[in-house]
Amino acid sequence: MDSKTEPKSFVIKGDICYSTSPQEVSCTQNGYLVCVDGKSAGVFGELPQSYAELPLVDCTGQLVVPGMSDIHVHAPQYAFRGLGMDLELLDWLNTHTFPEEAKYADLAYAGDAYEIFADDLRHSATTRAVVFGTLHVPATELLMDDLEATGLVTYVGKVNMDRNSPDNLVEDSAESAEATRGWVADVTGRYERTHPIITPRFTPSVTDGLMAELADIAHQNDLPVQSHLSENLSEIGWVKELCPWSTCYGDAYDHFGLLGEKTIMAHCVYSTDEEVDLLRRTGTYVAHCPQSNAQLASGIAPIRRYLDLGMNVGLATDVAGGADLSMWRCMADAVAVSKLRWRLVDQSLSPLITQEAFWMATMGGGSFFGKVGSFAEGYELDALVLDDSAIRTPRDLTVWERLERYVYLAEEGGYLTRKFVAGRQIDLD
């Protein structure tokens, strides 16, 4: 199917799994997932007569699960993924990240780099992503072009940074706001699947004046917002110095009206009680980035607490703090670090279970995009078809056990055979 064509109506037959709550996964062996005009009409053990005429995509024996939403990933950092993981956040930014991001002033370099990023994302388990670009408008629009062509649904941010940044990666405050208004005007309505998101890098990089301007742009254009929050202890101390008027780091965003149900804050490792309450009350999304928080020696976010409070929580790779785009690895890491946190930090917060990681990767982050991340009736049909036959065992496994081990073993021998976004099949060649 061409990703440009209208979503089709069809039926996928296979071993179908999706979350019905954070702790529960519905599994149907040899089931039928019905897609009507790009939306799920539900999962059935027997195909209802009313759908018998739809084309059948026969994936018998393969797992069929909702697509994953990676709600925090830095496209320009993909070029140095797996490198330079020897520093904490602020030194890592200055040593590895800012010099790389400065290269995206060069459109030829950006073109080479973003083509790789978009192509690898297309082949990954991710169907929806929320993406940081750089401060450069032309490179960010090129990134949006590349992502649109993948068929995935994404939000992409031109980054804003007007202080505490190197000379070759910093903006004049007024020009930064102006460039952002121009970029928003440029890209609004240009794409079918690729949307702008307002992206102040983080409080240390953005003056109060620019932060207020960005909030204004977001509100005027009804745009979502993404940034970073309470990732690292030095960062938090610095924000306190930079915004002495703030009651907590989260307040340094909330003060400008930047939190809410259309905002994603990455990390939230060290959020105070006040900040947690602020995130909860505003409905702000927490992007949990377990691998990044380990590799940058940041810590482990108390995700159990956020789930217990019913907060909006999704998973994210945070490339290049995380080394790769695998949402499977991200799920496995989320479970693993939650156990270390329980053991080493706070035994009042029980470890996450694999079902909860799966829920966060699908429904938790998916809800940022609307009715996404489930096969319940009415959800946009994002689906992955997974061949797990190369992951060998002498045991007979239930469908759930096959999915459970896939989370941990996807990279061993798992194979993504088909991928659908809102009912459109993605080209995996």
Interface residues toward its own copies, by CB under 8 A: 78-83, 85-86, 109, 112-113, 116, 120, 291, 294-300, 323-324, 326, 329, 332, 335-337, 339-345, 351, 353-354, 391-395, 397, 401, 404-409, 411-412
To its own copies, the closest distance from the beta carbon of 393 in angstroms equals 5
Nearest distance from residue 281's CB to its own copies, in Å?
A: 29
Nearer to its own copies among residue 177 and residue 294 (C-beta): 294
Q: Choose between 297 and 428: whose C-beta lies nearer to its own copies.
A: 297
Least Cβ distance, residue 429 to its own copies (angstroms): 15
Measure the CA–CA gap between 226 and 228, rounded to whole angstroms. 7
Closer residue to its own copies, CB minimum distance, 35 or 294? 294
**CB-CB contact of 318 with 291 (8 Å):** yes
- Tell me whether residue 288 or residue 341 sits nearer to its own copies (CB atom): 341
Contacts of 170 (CB under 8 A, 6+ apart): 135, 161, 162, 163
**Cβ nearer to its own copies, comparing 35 with 118:** 118
CB of 118: closest distance to its own copies in angstroms?
12
Residue closest to 22 by CA, chosen among 285, 354, 351: 354
Cβ atoms 265, 227 nearer than 8 A: yes
Cβ distance to its own copies smaller for residue 28 or 317: 317
DSSP string across 108-136 = HHHHHHHHHHHHHHHTSSEEEEEEE--S-
Tell me how far the alpha carbon of residue 59 is from its chain's centroid.
Answer: 27
262, 224 in Cβ contact below 8 A? yes
User: Peptide bond preceding 266: is omega within 30 degrees of 0, i.e. cis?
Assistant: no
Q: How far is the CB of 313 from its own copies (least distance, A)?
A: 20
Closest separation between CB of residue 410 and its own copies, Å?
Answer: 9
CB of 107 to its own copies, least distance (A): 12
User: Rounded to whole angstroms, how far apart are CA atoms 7 and 424?
Assistant: 5
User: Among 423, 281, 307, 228, which residue's Cα sits nearest to residue 21?
Assistant: 307
Q: Is residue 330 a contact partner of residue 336, using CB atoms and an 8 Å limit?
A: no
Cβ proximity to its own copies: between 281 and 339 the closer is: 339
Q: Which is it for strands 383-387 and 415-421: parallel, antiparallel or unpaired?
A: antiparallel
